[in-house]
Structure 1
Amino acid sequence: MRILFFSRDYTPHDHRILSSLAKTGHRVYYLRLEESEYVFEDRLLPQEIEVVQWNNSRRSARWVDGPGMLVELKSIAKKINPDLVQAGPLQRSALLAALAGLRPLISMSWGYDLLQDAGRNAIWRQATRFVLSHSDLMIGDCETIRRLAISYGMPDKRIVTFPWGIDLDHFSPRVNSTTASAADNRVREGTFTLLSTRSWEPIYGVDTIVQAYIQVSQTQPGIRLVMLGNGSLATDLKQRFFDVGLFPSAANLDSAKDARVIFPGQVGFSNLPESYRSSDLYISASHSDGTSISLLEALACGLPVLVSDIPGNREWVVPGVNGWLFTDGNPSALASAILEAFNDRNRLIEMGENARKSVEGRADWKANFQKLLQAYELVVNEN
């Protein structure tokens, strides 16, 4: 089977899917709509994946670029002659594929395309309906996305829902006897580490985390915050921490070892599990998520979670069992929940065990990938 995989950029999600497809024997072509200035994924693609290049690469695709890209996409598809096209997000890559008349078309929702983009205005709503009406199948990662797709006209029977999932062997609790003792030591010493792994972008509510941590630090100096990654809000976030004495200035980096807020930068896939294992509580203030992969990674590593109370998170988090929920966009609610978790930290080991159990049955990428292949077979056989 010849597959054209048309995505917005190159992210860990793209790498996960393409790496699995590379092992199937199918001939897979990868087309990337944009090349962001930020590196979302540093692992190379398998050599079996054939990368397709535009005549002119672009940092971001604008609406004004659409006509030219549409002509070029038709030319690319004519040369490849794919048996099916998988494209997403809906109003970007999938929209171009639909406008180009590429069929059979499997549209993949990336969560934010239905949770946020579809409701921007009438143009975005119409684009969403157009894509879904020209898709042979849509893939979504949670019940929330399925319901939204139906509301935009996609027949329920044409929707395949499964969590994208993670590598449960790679993301796992530390396999030795020191895990519990290390956690016990942190409890006795009063140290406590919060971990944030989301990109520093407005949609992920990192400003909420900043405000909440500033409140927390005033009463509990033993609580540290580790923020992985980077993003467009980097300068603003660091300045706000510096203004209240929680982060050293660029001219005084020697004091970084004393900082209560740590910025390790982008952590590679191989080292990411250790970041989870070395922390006491995972936090995310995202305003929009389907099934958050970083949430699944944290749970799989046996790390209790504290996340915004939005539909996608409620499908995974049971308050008091494997984590906590807080009111979306409310820094004071997040601060209170952090302090609650800190004061109740004797329960974290048990909650961490529950966290791991909560993903073992539903978030195994090896098993869930088979559902993607089944979707491919269904669409190709029908066409």
Structure 2
Amino acid sequence: MRRILIIGSQNSIHTIRWVNALVERGYLVTVLTMHDFLELFHENVEVIKLPFKNPYGYLLNIPFVKKIVKSYKPDIIHSFYAFGYGFLGRSTGYSPHIISVLGSDIYSDPEKNFLFKRIIKKNILSSDVICSTSNIMAEKIKEVTGQDREIKITPFGVDIMKFTKIPNLKDLDFELTLGTVKKMEDKYGIDILIKSFALFVRKHPDLKVRLIIVGEGSKREELISLSKELNVFEKCEFVGPVKHDDVHNWLNKFDIFLALSRSESFGVSVIEAMACELPVIVSNIGGLKEVVTNDETGLIVSNEDPVEVSKKLEYLYQNPKQAIELGKNARAKVILRYSWKKSVEIMNNIYKSI
């Protein structure tokens, strides 16, 4: 039985899903983390909480990580996140070492200062295998590192049995329900969504329409204030955070899903919505334009353009047959390219090749 040492955040649902899938594939998995335990791991996963928290924990925990590696003798070390946890993985000097780049570690962190960029570059280039969730992010990795290394594409797939169309979940009191599942932060463009919604409502003042926003974030109060300023607060539902196990139920309350992010490395929530046969409207950035084929599996709009978004909403509202067709095409694409089973097989093949 091969031993895998995962170094990463245990409060990330993506890391948790990978780890549990590896255990189900017969791997012996131990997780090293500085984050609080969510108790979502498989019962056979050993979780070791490192003594020091970030930001200094990335330095202070190095002796503890080295000691664990020496006693555990893993077949593979796999770091999730190229900056902090990637640094801990690199500090062990152990090989083989895999780094999975997740998004902000390559799009945002290197821009903060020269030192961050230098550390991230060294972390990535010191690894034996580099993984990216999308082709577009792989190109960004090459740009930041200045190297044309091979990068394995390991998308976060979805459980197509769970994320599927479920009848009778829609609230029949509403003629149209728009929705998103995103954190309420600037990068995810919830303000753009609310402005777009307000324009649509202005055109249809008597329509029983609502906007559901699932997620938490530091901009919650600002966004609530914005909805009040635009006179759509009564038509908006700020749900807050929900467990990942409940996301598919919320998606099935929607008629249209929107992701108007200013920055997005991949877009797991969009794939989950597509798997539920929802027509999606996404901004023309990052991994979103890789996931969605315009006019075939969804609609792509210009960045930060509420007027264009409202026009696309109008189109889908006036053309329900086309909306249904987009949703069916979207699910077909997810089954073909982004099923969880396929994603796990990709990672399993990487492990077997080392």
TM-score by length of 2: 0.90
- Could you say which residue in structure 1 is the equivalent of 2:298? 323
Pairing partner for 1:313 from 273, 283, 288: 288
Letter in 1 for 2:222: D
Pairing partner for 2:190 from 164, 183, 206: 206
- Could you say which residue in structure 1 is the equivalent of 2:227? 241
Cα contact 1:84–1:103 (8 A) shared by 2 = yes
**Stretch deviating more after TM superposition (46-55 or 321-330):** 321-330
Cα contact 1:133–1:153 (8 A) shared by 2 = no
RMSD: 2.4
CA shift, 1:130, in A, is: 0.2
Q: 1:75 to 1:330 in 2, by over 3 A?
A: farther
- Could you say which residue in structure 2 is the equivalent of 1:299? 274
Whether 1:228 aligns to 2:189 is no
Whether 1:336 aligns to 2:350 is no
Give a deviation string over 1:67-91, Cα, whole Å, max 9, x none: 2122332233233232211112101
Q: 1:220 to 1:78 in 2, by over 3 A?
A: farther
Kindly, what percent of the aligned residue pairs are identical?
Answer: 23
Cα contact 2:184–2:220 (8 A) shared by 1 = yes
Cα contact 2:198–2:231 (8 A) shared by 1 = no
Pairing partner for 2:178 from 163, 178, 194: 194
Letter in 2 for 1:261: C
- Could you say which residue in structure 1 is the equivalent of 2:49? 53
- Could you say which residue in structure 2 is the equivalent of 1:44? 40
Cα contact 2:213–2:236 (8 A) shared by 1 = yes
DSSP 3-state at the match of 2:326: helix
Whether 1:373 aligns to 2:348 is yes
Cα contact 1:141–1:163 (8 A) shared by 2 = yes
CA shift, 1:12, in A, is: 1.9
Cα contact 2:193–2:260 (8 A) shared by 1 = yes
Q: 1:33 to 1:205 in 2, by over 3 A?
A: farther
Cα contact 2:157–2:340 (8 A) shared by 1 = yes
Q: 1:210 to 1:33 in 2, by over 3 A?
A: farther
Letter in 2 for 1:105: H
Structure 2: distance between partners of 1:192 and 1:321: 22
Q: 1:35 to 1:240 in 2, by over 3 A?
A: farther
Aligned residue pair count: 350
Cα contact 2:86–2:124 (8 A) shared by 1 = no
Pairing partner for 1:288 from 263, 269, 281: 263
CA shift, 1:269, in A, is: 3.2
Structure 2: distance between partners of 1:138 and 1:272: 30
Structure 1: distance between partners of 2:35 and 2:191: 26
Cα contact 1:6–1:33 (8 A) shared by 2 = no
CA shift, 1:9, in A, is: 4.3
- Could you say which residue in structure 1 is the equivalent of 2:26? 25
DSSP 3-state at the match of 1:287: coil
- Could you say which residue in structure 1 is the equivalent of 2:116? 124
DSSP 3-state at the match of 2:299: strand
Whether 1:349 aligns to 2:319 is no
DSSP 3-state at the match of 1:218: helix
DSSP 3-state at the match of 2:212: strand
- Could you say which residue in structure 1 is the equivalent of 2:245? 270
Could you list the runs of 5+ residues in structure 1 that have no partner in the other structure? 37-41, 248-258
Q: 1:302 to 1:149 in 2, by over 3 A?
A: same
CA shift, 1:29, in A, is: 0.8
DSSP 3-state at the match of 1:67: helix
